[in-house]
């Protein structure tokens, strides 16, 4: 059977890569043409950016190598416009790329617009390059025993702070957060986390907001000014304006509004996955993470394959399973959760948790490799169901 159906996947992060590879396997021998578009030729392991920030050398993975043998065409370039009526994408401002089905997987990045000076004076973990520049700055400071501030007490901020403290024990590190670090965990897992933070001598400034980032300091909303030879910004999320600019229905943050099958409510030929999609379950809206992103990619690839073959599709279902948090290379805490992300009584700590977290961080690449030959399944709970949205 040959359909000549053209599928374009925008973004080669965790979800875009999985969508493209699984689609290729599910639609083989049908004549479907799959194109993956990404500005960089390097696949970025976002789960490991804090390791690069601490000065570790990580393997480089080429997108072309990961796609080898799938039949997927890789176009290196940035999507600069979408014409959803003509079903056409503009790449790098000039090259037109037509599609019948679009998978929108552009993901998200850290928003440095939340505080004046953050965009000019703070580092981020948005790419290996920015993380590498921060690592170089830390190396400069380590000899003199400088001061580092990490703004944001979520999982990324905690992982970065502990990784840096382990790699550079001479640095004075302060973690600044509006909430208590580990607030989403159960009491015992959170207590373990704080014992590790104490062991690594990480100072916590909790319940405060950063008002301004200065070249050599951080000003807090309560008026205090903390010395900061290097500031790492990990709080706040922003997404590409591409969908909203194209007139595709989005929420106030720019995430594509989806129905129960993760298709755009305004343009059903567009499927949104991962951080780019506003997905509401019966327990609330999914937050951006690899844990929820990969199942959306798996589901979307399977859904498109079924639609190409003229079959019906069922609504997306998902429930959370765990909160894995590395605390340096030899320690971690894993808080297992209920489907709605609230903590359960189960937890894992120490070296066994570190092994578990490493397994989690490495699982996407393993999934891609085996998905070329079989239908690899990511964890998808059947306890949460996507809720419908009105058509735009």
pTM: 0.94
Return the number of other C-beta atoms located less than 10 Å from residue 117's C-beta.
18
What is the predicted pLDDT for the residue at 144? 85
Q: Residue 40, class by beta-carbon neighbours within 10 Å (0-12 exposed, 13-18 middle, 19+ buried)?
A: middle
DSSP state of 122: E
pLDDT of residue 376: 77
Cα–Cα distance for residue pair 318/295, rounded to 1 Å? 8
Q: How far is CA 43 from CA 15, 40, 364, in A?
A: 11, 8, 11
CA atoms within 13 A on the CB side of 181: 32
List of domains in the chain: 6-107+240-319+363-371 (3.50.50.60), 112-233 (3.50.50.60)
The structure tokens listed for 14 are: 């965790």
In the prediction, which pLDDT does 1 show? Answer: 45
Q: What is the pLDDT of residue 4?
A: 85
| 3-state secondary structure at position 143 | coil
DSSP secondary structure string for all residues of 39-78: S-SEEP-GGGHHHHHTT-----EEHHHHHTTS-PEEEES-
Taking only the tens of pLDDT, the chain with its 392 residues reads 456 899 999 999 999 999 999 999 999 988 999 999 999 999 999 999 999 999 999 999 999 999 999 999 999 999 999 999 999 999 998 889 999 999 999 999 999 998 999 999 999 999 999 999 999 999 999 988 899 999 999 999 999 999 999 999 999 999 999 999 999 999 999 999 999 999 999 999 999 999 999 999 999 999 999 999 999 999 999 999 999 999 999 999 999 999 999 999 999 999 999 999 999 999 999 988 899 999 999 999 999 999 999 999 999 999 999 999 999 999 999 999 999 999 999 999 999 999 999 999 999 999 999 999 888 777 555 566 666 665 55
Ramachandran region of residue 287, left (φ > 0), alpha (ψ -120 to 50) or beta?
beta
């Amino acid at each position: 059977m040959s359909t000549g159906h053209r599928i374009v996947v925008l973004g080669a992060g965790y979800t875009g890569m999985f969508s493209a590879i699984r689609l290729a396997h599910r639609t083989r021998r049908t004549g479907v043409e799959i194109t993956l578009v990404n500005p960089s030729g390097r696949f970025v392991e976002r789960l490991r950016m804090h390791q690069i920030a601490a000065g570790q050398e990580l393997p480089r993975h080429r997108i072309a190598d990961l796609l080898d043998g799938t039949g997927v065409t890789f176009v290196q370039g940035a999507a600069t416009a979408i014409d959803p009526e003509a079903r056409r994408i503009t790449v790098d401002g000039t090259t037109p790329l037509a599609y019948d089905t679009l998978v929108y997987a552009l993901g998200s990045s850290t928003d440095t617009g939340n505080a004046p000076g953050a965009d000019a004076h703070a580092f981020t973990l948005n790419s290996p390059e920015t993380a590498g520049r921060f690592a170089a700055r830390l190396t400069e400071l380590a000899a003199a025993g400088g001061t580092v501030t990490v703004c944001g007490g979520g999982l990324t901020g905690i992982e970065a702070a502990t990784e840096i403290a382990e790699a550079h024990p001479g640095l004075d590190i302060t973690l600044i957060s509006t909430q208590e670090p580990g607030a989403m965990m159960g009491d015992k897992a959170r207590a373990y986390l704080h014992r590790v933070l104490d062991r690594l001598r990480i100072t916590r400034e909790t319940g405060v907001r950063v008002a301004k980032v200065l070249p050599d300091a951080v000003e807090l909303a309560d008026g205090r000014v903390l010395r900061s030879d290097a500031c790492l910004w990990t709080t706040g999320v922003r997404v590409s304006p591409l969908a909203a600019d194209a007139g595709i229905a989005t929420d106030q943050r720019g995430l594509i509004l989806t129905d129960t099958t993760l298709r755009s409510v305004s343009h059903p030929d567009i499927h949104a996955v991962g951080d780019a999609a506003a997905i509401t379950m019966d327990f609330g809206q999914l937050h951006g993470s690899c844990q929820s992103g990969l199942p959306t990619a798996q589901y979307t690839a399977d859904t498109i394959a079924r639609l190409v073959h003229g079959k019906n599709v069922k609504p997306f279902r998902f429930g959370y399973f765990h909160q894995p948090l590395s605390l340096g290379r030899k320690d971690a805490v894993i808080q297992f959760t209920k489907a709605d992300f609230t903590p359960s009584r189960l937890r894992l700590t120490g070296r066994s948790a570190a092994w578990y977290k490493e397994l989690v961080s490495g699982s996407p690449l393993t999934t891609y490799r085996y998905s070329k030959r079989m239908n690899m399944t990511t964890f998808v709970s059947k306890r949460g169901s996507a809720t419908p949205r009105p058509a735009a």
